[in-house]
Amino acid sequence: MIYAGAVTAASTAPSTPGTPGTRPSRRSPVRILVIVVVAVLGLTGVAVVADALVAARVERQISRHLYEDSKLATPPSVMVSGMPYIAAAWSHQLPSIHVEARDIDVPDFGRVTMSSTATKLTLTRDEVLSGDFTDAPAKQVFTRAQIDSVALGDKMGFDDLHLEAVENISPVGGWETEAYFTGTPRGEQDPWTVTMRLRVWEGDVLLRPTEIRKAPGGRDPASLDEAERQRIFDAFTYTFHGPDLPLRALPGRVYISGGALFVESEQNYIRVSISDLAPRSAPLGTDAEAGL
Please write the tens of the pLDDT for every residue from 69-84.
877 888 999 999 887 8
Instruction: Give the helix ranges, DSSP H, for the chain.
Output: 9-12, 29-69, 88-91, 125-130, 149-156, 226-236, 286-290
Average per-residue pLDDT in the chain?
A: 82
The string of pLDDT tens digits covering residues 114-138 is 999 999 999 999 999 999 999 999 9
pTM of the entire predicted model: 0.76
User: Mean of the pLDDT values across residues 233-251?
Assistant: 93
Which pLDDT band holds residue 267 (cuts at 50, 70, 90)? very high
The predicted structure's pLDDT at residue 171 = 45
Which pLDDT band holds residue 88 (cuts at 50, 70, 90)? confident
DSSP assigned state of 76: P
Contacts 24+ apart (CB under 8 A), 218-222: none
For 196, counting Cβ atoms within 10 Å of its Cβ (0-12 exposed, 13-18 middle, 19+ buried), the class is buried
Which pLDDT band holds residue 239 (cuts at 50, 70, 90)? very high
For 177, counting Cβ atoms within 10 Å of its Cβ (0-12 exposed, 13-18 middle, 19+ buried), the class is buried
The predicted structure's pLDDT at residue 138 = 96
The predicted structure's pLDDT at residue 17 = 52
Give CA separation, 226 vs 90, 212, 219, 234, in Å: 67, 12, 15, 12
The predicted structure's pLDDT at residue 95 = 93
The string of pLDDT tens digits covering residues 140-173 is 999 999 999 999 999 999 999 999 988 654 444 4
Which pLDDT band holds residue 21 (cuts at 50, 70, 90)? low
Provide the β-strand partners of residue 163: 181
Q: Which amino acid is at 70?
A: S
The predicted structure's pLDDT at residue 45 = 53
The predicted structure's pLDDT at residue 113 = 93
**How much of the chain, in percent, has pLDDT values that exceed 70?**
76
